[in-house]
Structure 1
Amino acid sequence: MNICLYGSGSRKINKIYTDEAYKLGCKIAQNGHTLIFGGGDTGMMGFCAKGVHDNDGNSIGIAPGWIGNFEPLCKDCSDFIYVDTMDERKNKFTELSDAFIISPGGIGTLDEFFEIITLKKLKKQNKPIIVFNIDNYFNKMFEMIDEMAEKGFLYNQEEDLFKIANTIDEIFDYLG
């Protein structure tokens, strides 16, 4: 299975998050899956990729070449796909991935998350989406989504657009 990880590339992330990202990468490799990610060598992406590589797993980084001006790119990927734009990157994620894990991140991660659940809502993809809620990172976002539903901005809220996992074991329980 090709598992896409969305997550921050920041170097300022607390160890509680990066340790979990590393363990997630280990588990992805140990289960014979391939990591698809934004190609960053730092933050959630970098630590997950390091866990994959330390366990002889495969990874595919996808990024525009110019993003290296903002963050270092992972040199240990099994394959690296260079694209021209962030939209092309997200399209490649969707095309190549069988499931999506959203880990803690910033604006880019939220952009990727909301795009992939929108595509699922619009029936343009039907792949599993799991929010990895390390240390309750996403709780305020879940509250916001609930409030949007309560105020009538969302409909068919009973749809199962994404799952919430607080542990790596829960992620793999959802993935089967």
Structure 2
Amino acid sequence: MNICIFCSANSNLPTEYFDRTRELGAWMGANGHTLVFGGCNLGMMECVAEAVHNAKGMTVGVVPSIVEKGGKVSEHVDVKILCDNLSDRKDLMIQRSDVIIALPGGVGTLDEIFTVLAAASIGYHNKRVILYNIGGFWNSLIAMLDDLKAHGVLRAGFDDTLKVAQSLDEIAGFIG
């Protein structure tokens, strides 16, 4: 399965985030899953790519030209796909993936998550997004989405598209 990972490129994050990311990457590689990610050599992006690579898995990095020009491409990218900008990156990552897992991340990760969810809500695809709720990171987002649901502004089927996992075992269960 091609698993897209959206996550932070920051390094100054809690150790737990990196430990769980490394565990996820090792599981992906050991189970023959391919990582599709932003191709960057920073933060959690580099962590998951290294873990997949070390577990003999395949990695596909979708790399914007600004990242390549800046010398920030991960050495753990097996297949490099160059693109012009972040919009192209998102589109290519989504196209090449069967499922998306969102690890802790900032506004870029939120943008990526909501792009996938919005497209699914109007029928462009039926790909699932799994929020990996490491250390309760996504709790406030989950509460906001529950509030939107209570206000009736989320379409039917939203709960089938977005799942929340507290552990690697739950992720494995969602992926099937």
TM surpasses 0.5:
yes
For residues 84-110 of structure 1, what are the alpha-carbon distances to aligned partners after superposition, in whole Å with 9 as ceiling and x for unaligned?
A: 011111110111111110111000000
The CA deviation at 1:67 is: 2.5
Question: Matches of 2:157 and 2:143 in 1, distance apart?
Answer: 13
Post-superposition offset of 1:156: 2.9
The one-letter code of the counterpart of 1:146 is D
Q: Give the whole-Å Cα distance in 2 for the aligned partners of 1:158 and 1:128.
A: 10
Residues 121 and 158 in structure 2, CA contact (< 8 A), matched pair in contact too = no
Q: What do the CA deviations read for 1:42-71 (whole angstroms, capped 9, x no partner)?
A: 222111111111111110000212025678
Contact kept in structure 2, 1:42 and 1:71, CA below 8 Å:
no
Partner of 1:83: 83
Q: Tell me how many residue pairs correspond in the alignment.
A: 176
Matches within 5 A, 1:40-119: 40-68=40-68, 72-119=72-119
Give the distance between the partners of 2:80 and 2:132, measured in 1 at CA.
25
For the residues of structure 2 that align with 1:119 and 1:49, how far apart are their CA atoms? 26
Task: For 1:173 and 1:165, locate their aligned partners in 2 and report how far apart those are by CA, in whole Å.
Answer: 9
For the aligned residue pairs, the C-alpha RMSD in angstroms reads 1.6
Aligned to 1:156: 156
CA distance in 1 between counterparts of 2:169 and 2:70 reads 33
Aligned residue number for residue 166 of structure 1 = 166
Whole-Å separation in 1 of the counterparts to 2:98 and 2:158: 23
Distance 2:46 2:105 in 1: 12
* TM-score calculated relative to the size of structure 1: 0.94
Q: Which runs of 5+ in 2 are unaligned?
A: none
Q: What TM-score results when the alignment is normalised by the length of structure 2?
A: 0.94
CA contact (8 A) 2:121 2:155 kept: no
Deviation at 1:164, TM superposition (A): 0.6
Cα distance 1:3–1:155, how it changes in 2: closer, same or farther (>3 A)?
Answer: closer
1:159 Cα deviation after fit: 4.2
Provide the identity percentage.
34
Question: Which ranges of structure 1 fall in alignment gaps of 5 or more residues?
Answer: none
Q: Give 1:155 shift.
A: 4.1
C-alpha distance 157-96 of structure 1, shift in aligned 2 (>3 A): closer
